[in-house]
Amino acid sequence: MCVSDDLRRHADAIYKRIFEHPFVIGIGDGTLEVSKFRYYIEQDYLYLIEYSRVLALAIARANDISTMSWFASLLNETLNTEMELHRSYAELFSISRKSLESVRPSPTTQSYTNFLLTTAYSNGLPGITAALVPCQLGYSEIGQILAKRGIPKEQPLYSQWIEMYTSQEFTRLANQLKLLVDTVAEGLGPRELAKMEEIFLTSARYEYLFWDAAWRLEKWLV
């Protein structure tokens, strides 16, 4: 079994909690309150900004030009295409571009992105890829699960979200990142592999918390 599959297997209980979360189920059957999805869109935009910083650090940490190029392409796609699509999608939920730029990160968003950045600063490429891949794997699997259950045609904006994460492009991205995890893990000893697993599991837990924060409309208590 390759390292990426082994990591995913060890996080199976976490992913099951994600797939069964009422927020995720609500997207799939169209019953999710729009206010909660709006909150998610706003926080996800902030996540993408910090995610881009992690990709920039991954470029610097890469050991070969091919890997540098791959992360550079992903960074360019995220900053100049995906974030613009995110802004346009947000407008469909009456979230203006100006208001999107003024959103404050929730406690969970700030904690999750700080974890990603700290990992990127203090680890090599094995740690960085282990931190990034749980998000791509989760979204790809969520999209596939919800699509199999049936697209909520009465909620076309949720249907659009599901279709985005079941697209060939996104599936290819998730698979490429999995392959990169396996590549950078080659030759690592037990200690380094255990560190990758620790990072992977922490990111997976944050993925769950991110969905849960949107469900609860999490706010700062003070």
Distance between CA atoms of 18 and 209, rounded to whole angstroms?
A: 9
15 within domain boundaries:
yes
| 3-state SS, one letter per residue, for 70-118 | HHHHHHHHHHHHHHHHHHHHHHCCCCCHHHHHCCCCCHHHHHHHHHHHH
Return the pLDDT at 96: 92
222 within domain boundaries:
no
221 within domain boundaries:
no
152 within domain boundaries:
yes
153 within domain boundaries:
yes
- 207 is a catalytic site residue: yes
10 within domain boundaries:
yes
- 192 is a catalytic site residue: no
Domain of residue 28, CATH code: 1.20.910.10
The rounded mean pLDDT for the chain is 95
Please give the structure tokens belonging to residue 137. 């794997």
220 within domain boundaries:
no
Tell me how many domains the chain contains: 1
Q: How confident is the model at residue 91 (pLDDT cuts 50, 70, 90)?
A: very high
Whole-prediction pTM value? 0.96
Domain that holds residue 179: 3-215
Candidate list 50, 84, 207, 218, residue with the active-site label: 207
101 within domain boundaries:
yes
Quick: pLDDT tens for 68-88. Answer: 999 999 999 999 989 999 999
Candidate list 2, 84, 135, 163, residue with the active-site label: 135
Contact 46, 114 (CB under 8 A): no
